[in-house]
Chains A and B, each alone.
Chain A
Amino acid sequence: MPKEAVLNFHGNFVKTNLIKVDRNKVYGWSEEIYTDKSGNVCTWATLLNDGVSLISSGGTALKTFNNLGKETSKSDLVAVYDNGELANLISSVFDAETTLSNEKTIEDLMNLEVKSVYQLAILENKDLLKTWLNQFNVLYLTFNYRTDYESDDAFLLNQGELFFIITGVIKEFQYASLQATLELESDAEESDEIDFNMF
């Protein structure tokens, strides 16, 4: 049974299920297959820098070490903010009421680098939600699918009778002037050097 989320706007509530909108479910997907000259299927491996050792999926592990180089368990660690204060866990959207806000606008949504999209299957007060969105276009919320120390930015919007939550991170873009050029980061979209999914 799908979990229910409760959204609260100015003391009124909307109850909904969330269904993830996956690009594959909209357009389908593709898979690359490589074969050798005889038609046998090949697989990807990583050749290590020794030029001899081959590793494949599951062949590596990410481990945490202390300042003496000794492996440590994640359960020995605590989450802290930059200032060193202990971080608080933020509830999943399914575990606590989520407050909607009309303080952010379409411009803020346009600054959102998107992580996930959910379609809402509204259980209660659909008309109320439609009224809110007719008035404000978008409503802002903080979103955690699972309880975590950080939450994503998210916007609730609609397309007529269809309602969506778009999650991600609002980027703080700086304006450029003649006096001040910007230092931007070049992020390699898809590196061909190493397939990190393997790790």
Chain B
Amino acid sequence: MRKIKISNSQNRDADIVYGGITHKSKIKFVYPDRTITSNAKLLKSKMGQQYPALFKLCGNDEALVDMLTNENPEIDFELTGSFIKGGQRILVDENMNPVFEAIANEIIYNPDGSQKEIKSLSARESNIVSDHPIRWTGKYLPVDQAYNKFIFAKKYQLTHSNGLTFDFLFEMAKELSEKKSLMMLGAGAKGNEPLIFQDNGKPYRAFLEGRIKGDSYLLLLHLTNLELKGIL
């Protein structure tokens, strides 16, 4: 489980664990006699054996056809078909050499596909465990008004790891449950920035929901990066 540093309505903060629930498919594909199968990733062709590289080598399609007919440049008889596990993403130039110093830019497009701007790509650091705890913005949003305003694409559950954090979280859940409202959360020094859960991850607006059942609680962090808007 991962940690988030979060404060309550009184600006008292604590390191809290959070996580999600993975949906497991109820369906599996097996042989008719119910023998199970396994999946694996195999190498088809290395970069140097794919069309762009072979085209560059030959100069034109006719020469490439001749090469494919007379030789087997698209197959590495040692490696093709071998199992692949792991690996590391790297940037390469047009000659397939690793690039160690790359300049990163971000092109922003409008909804109609036109280019809006090009800007230098800046690194986005995770901000959920920092000197500035995730804060309550003070903006309550009643649940019965929020459900059709935002698309809450991801959910994380906050939970306690000891008695102290139980009290901390239970009170939070109780407060929100009594108000039947979500609380918008913010990150950063001013507590108004979207939450970034890991370095270079997507920024999300986050809303906290609390529910109470007897002596137990449920605290859900709803993440959204999309308002529900008509497109027709």
List residues of chain A with CB under 8 Å of any chain B CB: 19, 21-37, 40-49, 53-56, 58-67, 72, 74, 76-82, 84, 87, 106-107, 109-114, 117, 119, 121, 137-138, 149-150, 157-159, 162, 164, 166, 169, 171-178, 180-190, 192-195, 199
In the complex, are the beta carbons of B29 and A78 less than 8 A apart? yes
User: When the two chains form their complex, are residues B216 and A175 in contact, meaning their CB atoms are under 8 A apart?
Assistant: yes
* With contact pairs A113-B155, A159-B230, A176-B218 given, residues A32 and B105 touching in the complex (Cβ less than 8 Å): yes
Q: Which residues of B contact A30 (CB under 8 A)?
A: 106-109
Assess the A46–B202 pair: CB atoms within 8 A. Answer: no
| The residue from B20, B27, B45, B202 contacting A150, defined by CB atoms under 8 A apart | B27
Asked if residues A79 and B21 are in contact (CB atoms below 8 Å), the reply is: no
Chain A residue nearest to B163 (CB atoms) is: A178
Using Cβ atoms and an 8 Å threshold, which residues of chain A touch B116?
28
What residues on B are CB-neighbors of A176 within 8 Å?
159-160, 166, 169, 216-218
- Residue from the set A44, A67, A172, A176 with the largest chain B CB neighbour count within 10 Å: A176
In whole angstroms, how far apart are the Cα atoms of A37 and B90 in the complex? 16
A187 to B50 alpha-carbon distance, docked (Å): 34
Q: Are B21 and A185 in contact (CB under 8 A)?
A: yes
Give every chain A residue within 8 A of B154 (Cβ-Cβ). Answer: 113, 189
Give Cα A77–Cα B35 distance, bound, in whole angstroms: 10
**A106 CA to B37 CA, complexed, in Å:** 40
Q: Report the 7 A-B pairs with minimum CB-CB distance, sorted nearest first.
A: A184-B19, A175-B216, A177-B216, A77-B29, A46-B87, A54-B47, A42-B91
Interface code B89-121, partner A: CB below 8 Å = 1, 0 otherwise? 111111010110111111111110000101001
Known: A44-B90, A111-B155. A81 touches B30 (CB 8 A): no
- Contact, CB under 8 Å: A189 / B202: yes
A195 to B88, CA, bound (A): 9
- Considering residues B18, B19, B44, B88, which has the most beta carbons from chain A within 10 angstroms of its beta carbon? B88
Q: Which of B28, B153, B209 contacts A113 (CB 8 A)?
A: B153
User: Which residues of chain A come closer than 8 Å to B198, judged between CB atoms?
Assistant: 188-190
Per-residue A-contact encoding for B147-161, CB less than 8 Å = 1, 0 else:
111011111010111
Task: List the interface of chain B (C-beta within 8 A of A).
Answer: 1-2, 17-23, 25-32, 34-48, 50, 79, 84-94, 96, 98-99, 101-111, 116, 118, 121, 143-144, 147-149, 151-155, 157, 159-161, 163, 166, 169, 197-202, 209, 211, 213-218, 220, 222, 225-232
28 CB < 8 A contacts A-B:
A21-B228, A21-B229, A30-B106, A32-B104, A33-B118, A34-B105, A42-B93, A42-B99, A47-B88, A48-B86, A54-B48, A58-B44, A61-B42, A62-B40, A64-B38, A67-B36, A67-B37, A72-B37, A77-B31, A80-B34, A81-B26, A117-B151, A159-B149, A175-B216, A175-B217, A176-B216, A180-B216, A184-B18
CA A150 to CA B29, docked complex, whole Å = 13
Name the CB-closest residue of B to A72: B37
A113 vs B221: C-alpha distance when bound (angstroms): 12
Residues of A within 8 A of B89 (CB): 44-47, 192-195
Hey, which chain A residues are within 8 Å of B217, CB to CB? 175-177
Q: Which of A31, A76, A87, A138 contacts B109 (CB 8 A)?
A: A31
CA distance A190 to B99 in the complex (A): 23
B122 to chain A, nearest CB (A): 11
Instruction: State in angstroms the CA–CA spacing of A76 and B105 once bound together.
Output: 47
Contact between B30 and A184, CB atoms less than 8 A apart: no
